[in-house]
Structure 1
Amino acid sequence: MIRFALKCDHDHCFESWFQSGSAFDKVKSAGMVSCPACGSTDVVKTLMSPQVQTARKATKEGETPQTDASSLPVPSDKSEFFQKPSKELEAKIAALKAHVEATSDYVGKNFAKEARAMHEGDTPERTIYGEANMAEALSLIEDGISVAPLPFIPARKTN
């Protein structure tokens, strides 16, 4: 896995993980890489530095690596730590998730099958969301069926 620093045509900077450089190129050419701030698919890789830490640099002779916890946020009510978004973008994603879950049907791993059935007229059209692997998503796009990745994990998939 490799993390790329990315930038859209509206100068929004963000990062994303990909299996490889060629995987990024393939997903980008399919129009499946989009800016989380504005949704633009005109995205390019930007200058980034590798973050590789060798065992020799990780510790000096006989020292144990230490984590500096002083920079981590500590909420007054610890139950809020995993419930409240910490940034405006996270709040917008949380609102989008709530909207999608309230107005759409979750079809799970049957997403590609359901989307294709609606496109072919075998099933009444409705708003759905679910899961599809890369091959299924690319096949839907090639057949002219509009799909888009969501910037969150469906509630049914979280622990």
Structure 2
Amino acid sequence: MIHYDLICDKGHAFDGWFRNSSAYDEQADRGLVSCTQCGSVKVEKQLMAPGIPAKSNRKSDSATKMVAAPADPRLAELMNMMREMRKHVEENAEYVGDRFADEARKIHYEESEQRGIYGQTTADEAKALVEEGITVHALPRLPEDGN
């Protein structure tokens, strides 16, 4: 599975999970990748920072944590939109932690009350949920999350 941050021609940011980069390209070429807000099929991959694991023998010093702001005003606006979206989810949905996949299935199969939830799951579990027809979206990772 590969995760892409995507953006439509109207500036709406969202993300998607694909089997591999070729699967994204094929789906985008066929008009199957569309914006979650406006439905536009004019979608492009956004620039993404790679996740580089820290050395395990390194001392962590939270006082040196730094965040750089994007120079492009459109990127700054996009970052603010992502922060607002994430804040909205956190204020209006139930945090279920690592029980996310189980709770999503219970809601989908009407074994639990309909409600918004958020939490953590593995890429394999996210893929399995999508294959079962359960709609899931990853919350955007923000620079202050420390990747």
* TM-score normalised over the length of structure 1: 0.49
* Pair 1:158–1:24, CA change in 2 (3 A): same
Change (3 A) 1:89 1:5: closer
Matched, 1:122 2:106: no
What is the root-mean-square deviation in Å for CA atoms of aligned residues? 4.6
Runs of 4+ in structure 1 deviating by more than 4 angstroms, as ranges, are: 4-8, 26-29, 33-46
Q: How does 1:101-112 map to 2 (within 5 A)?
A: 101-112=90-101
**Match of 2:21?**
24
Indicate conservation of the 8 Å contact 1:97/1:152, yes or no. no
Q: Which has the higher contact order (CA 8 A, sep 6+)?
A: 2
Say whether the 8 Å CA contact 1:116–1:140 is kept in structure 2: yes
- 1:110-132 Cα offsets, whole Å, 9 max, x none, are 11110001111211111001112
* Greater Rg over alpha carbons, structure: 1
Partner of residue 90 from structure 1, selected from 75, 79, 90? 79
CA shift at 1:100, angstroms?
0.7
TM-superposition CA deviations, 1:10-39 (whole Å, max 9, x none): 286x9x9xxxxx73335776xxx8879978
Q: State the aligned residue count.
A: 112
Q: Where does structure 2 lack aligned partners over 5 or more consecutive residues?
A: 28-32, 47-65
